[in-house]
Amino acid sequence: SQQGEEDPQALSIQEGENATMNCSYKTSINNLQWYRQNSGRGLVHLILIRSNEREKHSGRLRVTLDTSKKSSSLLITASRAADTASYFCAPLNTGGFKTIFGAGTRLFVKA
Amino acid sequence: GAGVSQTPSNKVTEKGKYVELRCDPISGHTALYWYRQSLGQGPEFLIYFQGTGAADDSGLPNDRFFAVRPEGSVSTLKIQRTERGDSAVYLCASGQGRDQPQHFGDGTRLSIL
């Protein structure tokens, strides 16, 4: 099993700015997923990127994956106050079952 | 459509008691996960079911914890002789396979007094 480690631990930005969060992992992966969690709620799946993909978009979200550096990034463009949440990356080992979450990045978007 | 449902949403009990936490996954989802989350931390993996069988239970912290999924849909996480350190939010997620997105419930907040 392996854990994704998010960086930074916390990020505070103004509404309208872009937010970038990074994730590093240690071994080969099948895919890597990003999730968002609002306070007191369960996690919400944002994007899944497979090991043979380099970039993926969904609305204001852009995810990149660099398997040579074992890293991924999540970019949220034109952030909104409603984007305030914790964001987690979840790498899935090749052949693995378990998803190991890191401590996440806490994003605060000021209106 | 209906999402993942977890009951109860809150559970307060005394140390030493037995508790059961229930998860109703999205209909048709074969994969089911249990996690435990403490304040300020990410979810901690407990167990993964593929159908009725536990494909990976390596995250269960000790033998006081047990989970079942007898008919491949609803799952119950059982905790015996609860301890104060078991206090956490217990999250359930379901999906269409181990490498597919997971859909989470809002969790059961367990407090052991």
Report pLDDT digits (tens) over B72-83.
999 999 999 999
Q: Angle A100-B92-A32 (CA atoms, 0-180°, nearest 5)?
A: 35
Looking at residue A2, its pLDDT comes to: 60
- B91–A41 CB contact, under 8 Å: no
Q: How much is the average pLDDT of B37-63? A: 93
Looking at residue A4, its pLDDT comes to: 83
Looking at residue A100, its pLDDT comes to: 83
Alpha-carbon distance A110 to A81, whole Å? 6
Point out the residue among A40, A44, A104 whose CB comes nearest to the CB of B42: A104
Least confident piece of the model among A4-8, A73-77, B87-91? A4-8
Sort strands B10-13 and B108-112 into parallel, antiparallel or unpaired.
parallel
Indicate if the pLDDT at residue B67 is higher than 70. Answer: yes
Which range of A19-28, A76-85, B38-47 scores highest in mean pLDDT? It is: A76-85
Please give the structure tokens belonging to residue B34.
């249990």
From the list A105, A36, A99, the residue with the least C-alpha distance to B46 is: A99
Please indicate if any CB of chain B lies within 8 Å of the CB of A104: yes
Q: How much is the average pLDDT of A35-59? A: 95
Looking at residue B1, its pLDDT comes to: 56
Looking at residue A27, its pLDDT comes to: 83
Please indicate if any CB of chain A lies within 8 Å of the CB of B25: no
- A40–B106 CB contact, under 8 Å: yes
Q: How much is the average pLDDT of A75-104? A: 90
- B101–A101 CB contact, under 8 Å: no
Looking at residue B78, its pLDDT comes to: 98
Q: Angle B58-B59-B60 (CA atoms, 0-180°, nearest 5)?
A: 95
pLDDT digits (tens, 9 = 90+) for A8-17: 999 999 999 9
Q: How much is the average pLDDT of A43-49? A: 96
Q: What is the mean pLDDT of chain A?
A: 93
Please indicate if any CB of chain B lies within 8 Å of the CB of A41: yes
Which residues, at least 6 apart from B62, have a Cβ–Cβ distance to it below 8 Å?
A: none
Looking at residue A102, its pLDDT comes to: 85
Q: How much is the average pLDDT of A88-110? A: 88
Please indicate if any CB of chain B lies within 8 Å of the CB of A61: no
HSE-up (13 A, CA, CB side) for residue A26: 6
A-B CB pairs within 8 A amount to: 58
Indicate if the pLDDT at residue A1 is higher than 70. Answer: no
Looking at residue A74, its pLDDT comes to: 98
Chain A residues 4-33 with a CB less than 8 Å from chain B: 30-31, 33
Nearest Cα residue in chain B from A32: B99
Point out the residue among B42, B59, B101 whose CB comes nearest to the CB of A102: B42
